[in-house]
């Protein structure tokens, strides 16, 4: 991979990057080995997989001893990555969340129903922090049964909710089964994040929520102590405002450390602007975005997340992404209908199999839509309503199976296990 120095626009003439690199080299074994360049502006990028042999806290100065909080990734794309943060890091995130809260007019008269995960996951505690930062009340429900949320809403409790798109979808399904009209509740804001939500899903879910309900998109990583990187406050525009005060942001070519031109798709790459306990220095997030405002080398706004750099699919010679698959299937199903898909990779070919809670006629229509819109031959099989397992947390709808050509003669339906 070619290493391109950070531009002067990205550096902003500030000396803190040099201090950050010096401390990381001295105190973090991974960075000692990775940061070989004498010039901090010429450091190579890296992603989570590069840290695999450096223990559970590969990016943290001194490990967890003396830290304020420890969080961890889910481990769905490799070993769990643990990060430790100091109180100063926590306070920095709180200041950004206060900015977000004020921008979306969350305040002391609001009650936030927080359904994000707690435990080692960062979502629940940091959404509590968002409410705390502006004086709103928190109901820390976690991703439990939707009946608990419905109980609160029936009692008139809750003006805002934090959730993954999967949980919000499950809540709407439960409300319809219980004959609860969510459009008649006091919900006016939703802090939605932790997984992608294609436009068709957003539209379907919003149609079941009160008029004027605002879907606030939050973006961040475990590695950034939660949604401290960007947010979108206008559901009409699929754009995110970047936290350029705390991060230097680059959108780089997927094969080289070069910024992509304005409007092109690239990989979101982050560098901390402050000396912190778990620094990120040209860290490739694997998330794909477009630069929509600011210079290409130092953007101020980006598109919503378009997909993952490692999730591209090549079916019958056609390159596509899970987001494109999800947009077609979700757009043609009722809001509460679930689906799963499997990409089966054989030695000689790949095929995409979809199972959807829909009639045979609707499945045939979805097959035609794939052929007409993206040129894919896709097999879609019907499933009984509510027969596909639901998740209260993140949902993995597309799975990869590697199979031999011999196994192709005994086909079976899709399953994400």
Domain at 211, CATH number = 3.40.50.12780
The confidence band for 297, taking pLDDT boundaries of 50, 70 and 90, is confident
pLDDT at 181: 94
pLDDT at 246: 95
Domain that holds residue 181: 90-232
The answer to whether position 2 is within a domain reads no
Judgement on whether residues 73 and 100 belong to the same structural domain of the protein: no
| Structural domain count of the chain | 3
The answer to whether position 134 is within a domain reads yes
Of 410 and 311, the one with more pLDDT: 311
Mean pLDDT in residue range 364-371 = 90
Examine the pLDDT at 193 and tell me if it is beyond 90. Answer: no
Judgement on whether residues 209 and 252 belong to the same structural domain of the protein: no
Q: What distance in Å separates the CA atoms of residue 304 and residue 400, rounded to the nearest whole number?
A: 25
Judgement on whether residues 278 and 201 belong to the same structural domain of the protein: no
Q: What distance in Å separates the CA atoms of residue 261 and residue 325, rounded to the nearest whole number?
A: 26
Q: Which residue in 47, 93, 66, 81 sits closest to 280, CA to CA?
A: 47
| 49-63, 161-175, 296-310: least confident range | 296-310
- Picking from 177, 212, 232, the residue at the C-terminal end of a domain is 232
The answer to whether position 162 is within a domain reads yes
| 1-15, 24-38, 211-225: least confident range | 1-15
Identify the residue whose tokens are 């299937």.
329
Judgement on whether residues 109 and 220 belong to the same structural domain of the protein: yes
The answer to whether position 415 is within a domain reads no
- pLDDT, one tens digit per residue, over 252-280 is 998 888 999 988 899 999 999 988 999 99
The confidence band for 163, taking pLDDT boundaries of 50, 70 and 90, is very high
pLDDT at 313: 72
Judgement on whether residues 97 and 167 belong to the same structural domain of the protein: yes
- pLDDT, one tens digit per residue, over 216-232 is 999 999 999 999 999 99
pLDDT at 322: 77
Judgement on whether residues 323 and 355 belong to the same structural domain of the protein: yes
Region of 207 on the Ramachandran plot (φ > 0 left; ψ -120 to 50 alpha; else beta): alpha
- pLDDT, one tens digit per residue, over 32-63 is 999 876 565 567 899 998 998 999 999 999 99
pLDDT at 410: 47
The confidence band for 2, taking pLDDT boundaries of 50, 70 and 90, is low
The answer to whether position 163 is within a domain reads yes
pLDDT at 106: 96
- Strands (DSSP E) found in 273-371: 283-293, 301-303, 307-308, 313-315, 318-320, 339-345, 350-356
Question: Under a CB-based contact definition with an 8 Å cutoff, are residues 248 and 271 in contact?
Answer: yes
The answer to whether position 228 is within a domain reads yes
Mean pLDDT of the chain: 85
Judgement on whether residues 335 and 385 belong to the same structural domain of the protein: yes
Q: Is 187 strand, coil or helix?
A: coil
pLDDT at 8: 46
Of 82 and 3, the one with more pLDDT: 82
Mean pLDDT in residue range 166-186 = 92
Judgement on whether residues 110 and 187 belong to the same structural domain of the protein: yes
- Picking from 258, 292, 308, the residue at the C-terminal end of a domain is 308
Judgement on whether residues 100 and 216 belong to the same structural domain of the protein: yes
Residues above pLDDT 70, as percent of the chain:
85
DSSP label of 259: B
Task: Compute CA distances 225 → 3, 83, 123, 304, whole Å.
Answer: 27, 8, 9, 19
The answer to whether position 1 is within a domain reads no
Judgement on whether residues 227 and 102 belong to the same structural domain of the protein: yes
Sign of CA pseudo-dihedral 255, 259, 264, 265: positive
Examine the pLDDT at 77 and tell me if it is beyond 60. Answer: no
pLDDT at 133: 96
CATH number at residue 334: 3.30.300.30
Judgement on whether residues 114 and 220 belong to the same structural domain of the protein: yes
The answer to whether position 275 is within a domain reads yes
Q: What distance in Å separates the CA atoms of residue 158 and residue 131, rounded to the nearest whole number?
A: 12
How far from the centroid of its chain's Cα atoms is residue 298's Cα? 21
Mean pLDDT in residue range 381-388 = 86
Judgement on whether residues 133 and 228 belong to the same structural domain of the protein: yes
Are β-strands 339-345 and 398-402 bridged in parallel, bridged antiparallel, or unpaired?
parallel
Helix axes 146-154, 165-177, angle to 10 degrees: 70
| 15-19, 67-71, 100-104, 244-248: least confident range | 15-19
Examine the pLDDT at 360 and tell me if it is beyond 50. Answer: yes
The confidence band for 3, taking pLDDT boundaries of 50, 70 and 90, is low
- Picking from 232, 264, 290, the residue at the C-terminal end of a domain is 232
pLDDT at 296: 81
Q: What distance in Å separates the CA atoms of residue 48 and residue 285, rounded to the nearest whole number?
A: 8
Mean pLDDT in residue range 398-407 = 63
């Amino acid at each position: 991979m070619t290493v391109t120095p950070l531009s002067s626009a990205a550096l902003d003439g500030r000396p803190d990057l040099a201090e950050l690199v010096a401390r990381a080299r001295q105190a973090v074994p991974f960075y000692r080995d990775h940061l070989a360049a004498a010039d901090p502006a010429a450091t190579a990028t890296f992603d989570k997989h590069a840290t695999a042999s450096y223990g559970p806290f590969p990016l943290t100065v001194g490990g967890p001893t003396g830290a304020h909080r420890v969080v961890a990734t889910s481990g769905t794309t490799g070993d769990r990555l643990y990060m430790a943060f100091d109180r100063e890091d926590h306070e920095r995130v709180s200041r950004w969340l206060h900015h977000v809260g004020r921008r979306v007019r969350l305040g002391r008269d609001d009650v936030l129903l927080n359904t994000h995960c707690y435990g080692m996951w960062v979502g629940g505690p940091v959404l509590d922090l968002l409410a705390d930062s502006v004086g709103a009340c928190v109901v820390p429900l976690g991703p439990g049964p939707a009946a608990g949320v419905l109980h609160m809403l029936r009692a008139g409790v809750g003006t805002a909710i934090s959730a993954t798109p999967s949980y919000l979808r499950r809540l709407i399904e439960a409300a319809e089964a219980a004959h609860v009209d969510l459009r008649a509740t006091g919900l006016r804001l939703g802090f939605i994040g932790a997984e992608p939500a294609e436009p068709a899903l957003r539209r379907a879910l919003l149609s079941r929520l009160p008029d004027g309900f605002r879907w606030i998109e939050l973006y961040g990583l475990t590695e950034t102590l939660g949604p401290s990187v960007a947010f979108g406050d206008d559901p009409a525009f699929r754009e995110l405002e970047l936290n350029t005060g705390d991060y230097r942001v680059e959108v780089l070519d997927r094969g080289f450390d070069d910024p992509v031109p304005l409007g092109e798709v690239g990989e979101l790459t982050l560098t901390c602007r402050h000396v912190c306990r778990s620094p990120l220095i040209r860290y490739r997030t694997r998330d794909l975005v477009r630069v929509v405002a600011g210079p290409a080398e130092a953007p101020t706004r980006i598109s919503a997340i378009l997909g993952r750099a490692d999730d591209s699919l090549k079916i019958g010679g056609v390159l596509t992404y899970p987001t494109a698959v999800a947009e077609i299937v979700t757009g043609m199903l009722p809001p509460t209908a679930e689906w799963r898909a499997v990409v089966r990779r054989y030695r000689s070919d790949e095929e995409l199999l979809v199972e959807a809670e829909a009639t045979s006629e609707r499945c045939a229509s979805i097959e035609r839509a794939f052929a007409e819109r993206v040129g894919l031959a896709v097999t879609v099989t019907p499933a009984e309503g509510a027969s596909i397992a639901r998740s209260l947390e993140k949902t993995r709808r597309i799975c990869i199976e590697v199979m031999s050509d011999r196994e192709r003669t005994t086909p079976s339906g899709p399953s994400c296990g």
